Chains A and B, each alone.
Chain A
Amino acid sequence: MNRNTLYTILTAAVLALLIGPIGVAVFVLGFVHGDSPCVLCWAQRTAMVLVALTGLLIVRYGPRPRYIGMGVLISAFGVYMGLRHSSLHFARDVGQGFSAEILGAHTYTWSLFIFWVCLVMMGAMLLAVKDGEAAGEGPRELRPPGRAALWLFLLAVAANMVQAFASTGPPPFMGQGDPVRFSFNPRNWVWSTEEWRPSPVSLRGRWAIEKPDVALAPADPAGSPLAGVPAMTVSRRAKLALPLNGPVTDLAYDAASDRFLLTTHNGVYLTDGTLGRVIRHTVVDVGYSVDLARFSAAAFLDSRTVLAMAENKSYVVLRESDQADAAANYRYFLESPGAFQEASRSRLTTVRAKMMYVMAAAFDPAASALYTVTVPNAASKRLVVSRFDRRDMTLAEEFSPALAEGGPLAFKDGAGSLDGFYPTAAEFHEGRLYVLSAAYSTLLVIDPVRRTVADARVVPGLSKPSGIAIKGGELLIVTEDGALSWAH
C-alpha cells in the first residue's frame, strides 16, 4: 500500500470516528438530549478521541511504530473498558440498561464494538504496510481532507471540554457514577469529588463469593436466634460401612422402592433400605460440559430417577438402566458407565439466591417441585427457599421464610433473623420442607404454602451434618464422615 492510500484510509477512519460515536455522543446525545456520561463513559469516550489523535499523528508524521503501538494499547484498553462497563448490565432483563441507547444497544456496549473495529483496522493496515515502511517522516503538508479532519477533531474536543466542564467541573472534580442530565444552565451543574473517596479495591467485586464450608457453621444450639427450641431424641447411632469414594454430601430416601440415595463429591450411590449394601453406583465426570463442581445435595425424582446437585446449583439427572451403553456413556461417568443413563445435565437459575450457594435440595413428588435452600456467605446472609418446576426445571417461586404467627417459635431478642442458619440437608415429607441447619444443629420445619417456619427441633450431638431422610416416622441424619443418627 502506498503512503497516500494509507493516509486517505486513515483520514476517512478518523472522520468516521469523529462524526460517528464521538460527535453523536457530545452533540446529539449530550447537547440535544441532555445525556451525561458517567465516570466510566467519560474514559471510554476519551479513549476514542485518543485513538483518533493517534490516527492524525500518523497522517501528519507517517506510520511511526510508537503511534501504532499507542493506538493498539488504547484500543485494547478500550475493549477492556467496554467489557467491564457493559458487564454491569449484561445480565439484566431485555431492554434494561444505563442511560441512552443507539440502534437498540446502550452506548457503553457500542464502545466495545468500536474499539474492536479499531483493533481490526489497525491489524489490517499493518498487514498492508510493506517491510521497512513503518517509519516516520518529517511533518507532511496536510491535504484538505487531513486538514479538515484535524479541525473537526479540535471542534469535537472543544465541545467535549464544554460538556466536561458543565458535567464534571474543573479538577479535582471528576465524573460521577450517576450523573445528572446535561444542561447549559450553571444552576443545574453538579460537581462532585465522590469518586475520590476511599473505597475497597477488589478484583472480582460482588462475584467474589467464598465456597460453602460446613465447618464454618457454629454447631452449638446455644447460639441459635430461636428461643426454647425443644430437642429431639436420638434413639440410635451407627456408622456407615459402605465403599464410598469420599465424604457423604447428602442422603435421600424413596419409600416406594425402600432404597436410599447417597452422594459424595462426585459419586452417586443407591443402597438398600438398611444402608447396608450398595445396589448401584456411578461416579460422575463433573468436569464434562456443565461444571458440576462438588455434589452437595441429592433427591429421588421417582423410584428410578435421581438428581445430584452441586453447590453452584448445577445438576445432573440420572435414570437407572440395565441396558445403558457403557461405551456411549464414557463421556459422562468415571465409574460404572453402564449403571445409569444421564437424562439431563444443566443449571438452575435463581433470582434472590443468585449470589449464594446451596447445600440442600428436596423433591415434592405431589407438586412435581424441586426445592433448594441457600447457605449464607460473607456478602449475602439470607435464608432463601427456591422452588423449581420439575417439568422445565425453571424457577417457580422464591421466598425467605418467616416465623409462623401464633406458632411455637419466637426469637430470643424479639426481632431476630433466620439468616444465620446454615442448611446442609433437606427432605420433603407430607407437605412440609424439613431443613437441617449445621449452624445451631437445628431442624427447621417449613410450611411452603404459608412460607413460614412452622416448627423447629434441636438435634443433639451433631457435627457437620450433610444429609437427612425420613423413614418410618424417624429422621435419619448422616454426617460428612458417615455417622448415622436416628431421631424422633
Chain B
Amino acid sequence: MELLNFILIFAAGWLVLRRPERERLAFGLLVASSLLMAALFLIGARGSILPGLNY
C-alpha cells in the first residue's frame, strides 16, 4: 500500500512539473494520498490510537 501511495505522489509531482495546467488533478492526488497515509498509520496504530503514555 505504501508503494501505491508513492505512485500517487509521484504522479502529482509529475503533473506539477510537466503538466501544470492539471492543477486540480495534482491537488486531488495530494488529498487522496494524505487520506491514504493517515489511514495506513491508523491501521498500524489501532491497538492504541492515543500515544501510549500514562494518562
Are B49's CB and A164's CB within 8 A?
no
Residues of B within 8 A of A186 (CB): none
For B34-45 the 0/1 string (1 means CB < 8 A from A) is 100110110111
Interface class of chain A by DSSP:
helix
Are A161's CB and B7's CB within 8 A?
yes
Are A84's CB and B45's CB within 8 A?
yes
Are B52's CB and A205's CB within 8 A?
yes
Closest CB in chain B relative to A97 CB, distance in Å: 14
Given the complex of chains A and B, what is the CA–CA distance between A67 and B23 in angstroms?
11
Residues of B within 8 A of A70 (CB): 27, 30-31, 34
Given the complex of chains A and B, what is the CA–CA distance between A81 and B17 in angstroms?
30
Residues of A within 8 A of B46 (CB): 199-202
Decide if A449 is an interface residue (CB 8 Å cutoff).
no
Partner of A46, one of B14, B33, B51: B33
Are A139's CB and B20's CB within 8 A?
yes
Decide if A113 is an interface residue (CB 8 Å cutoff).
no
Given A54-B30, A205-B48; A160-B6 close (CB under 8 Å):
yes
Given A42-B40, A56-B16, A207-B55; A50-B9 close (CB under 8 Å):
yes
Given the complex of chains A and B, what is the CA–CA distance between A43 and B6 in angstroms?
11
Are B48's CB and A207's CB within 8 A?
yes
Are B53's CB and A154's CB within 8 A?
no
Residues of A within 8 A of B31 (CB): 70
Q: How large is the interface on B (under 10, 10 to 19, 20 to 34, 35 or more residues)?
A: 35 or more
Given the complex of chains A and B, what is the CA–CA distance between A173 and B9 in angstroms?
18
Given A43-B41, A87-B52, A199-B47; A153-B6 close (CB under 8 Å):
no
Q: Can you name the residue of chain A whose Cβ is closest to the Cβ of B49?
A: A203
Are A201's CB and B4's CB within 8 A?
no
Near A by CB (< 8 A), chain B positions 1-16 give 1-7, 9-10, 12-14, 16
Interface class of chain B by DSSP:
helix
Residues of A within 8 A of B49 (CB): 84, 201-203, 205
Are A60's CB and B16's CB within 8 A?
yes
Decide if A206 is an interface residue (CB 8 Å cutoff).
yes
Partner of B9, one of A53, A195, A206: A53
Are B16's CB and A175's CB within 8 A?
no
Residues of A within 8 A of B26 (CB): 57
Partner of B52, one of A60, A88, A151: A88
Partner of B10, one of A38, A43, A154, A201: A154
Residues of A within 8 A of B7 (CB): 161
Near B by CB (< 8 A), chain A positions 19-68 give 38-40, 42-44, 46-47, 49-50, 53-54, 56-57, 60-61, 66-67
Q: Can you name the residue of chain B whose Cβ is closest to the Cβ of A39?
A: B44
Are B27's CB and A207's CB within 8 A?
no
Are B48's CB and A49's CB within 8 A?
no
Residues of A within 8 A of B45 (CB): 40, 84-85
Partner of A168, one of B1, B23, B43: B1
Are A150's CB and B2's CB within 8 A?
no
Are A195's CB and B44's CB within 8 A?
yes
Given A40-B41, A174-B1, A202-B49; A150-B6 close (CB under 8 Å):
no
Q: Can you name the residue of chain B whose Cβ is closest to the Cβ of A198?
A: B46
Decide if A73 is an interface residue (CB 8 Å cutoff).
yes
Residues of A within 8 A of B54 (CB): 207
Closest CB in chain B relative to A158 CB, distance in Å: 7
Residues of A within 8 A of B16 (CB): 53, 56-57, 60, 150
Are A46's CB and B50's CB within 8 A?
no
Residues of B within 8 A of A158 (CB): 10
Residues of A within 8 A of B20 (CB): 60-61, 139
Are A53's CB and B2's CB within 8 A?
no
Given the complex of chains A and B, what is the CA–CA distance between A175 and B48 in angstroms?
18
Partner of A139, one of B21, B38, B44, B55: B21
The listed residue with most A CB atoms (<10 A of its CB), out of B2, B30, B54, is B2
Q: Can you name the residue of chain B whose Cβ is closest to the Cβ of A165?
A: B3
Closest CB in chain B relative to A133 CB, distance in Å: 19
Are A46's CB and B37's CB within 8 A?
yes
Given the complex of chains A and B, what is the CA–CA distance between A150 and B16 in angstroms?
8
Decide if A330 is an interface residue (CB 8 Å cutoff).
no
Task: List 10 interface pairs A-B (beta carbons < 8 Å), by A numbering.
Answer: A39-B41, A43-B40, A46-B37, A57-B26, A57-B27, A87-B51, A154-B13, A170-B4, A175-B44, A205-B50
Using CB atoms and an 8 Å cutoff, list the residues of chain A in contact with chain B.
38-40, 42-44, 46-47, 49-50, 53-54, 56-57, 60-61, 66-67, 70, 73-74, 77, 81, 83-88, 90, 139, 142, 147, 150-151, 153-154, 157-158, 160-161, 164-165, 167-175, 177, 195-196, 199-207
Please give 8 more A-B residue pairs, beta carbons under 8 A apart, in addition to A47-B37, A53-B12: A47-B34, A49-B9, A60-B20, A154-B10, A157-B6, A161-B6, A172-B1, A205-B52
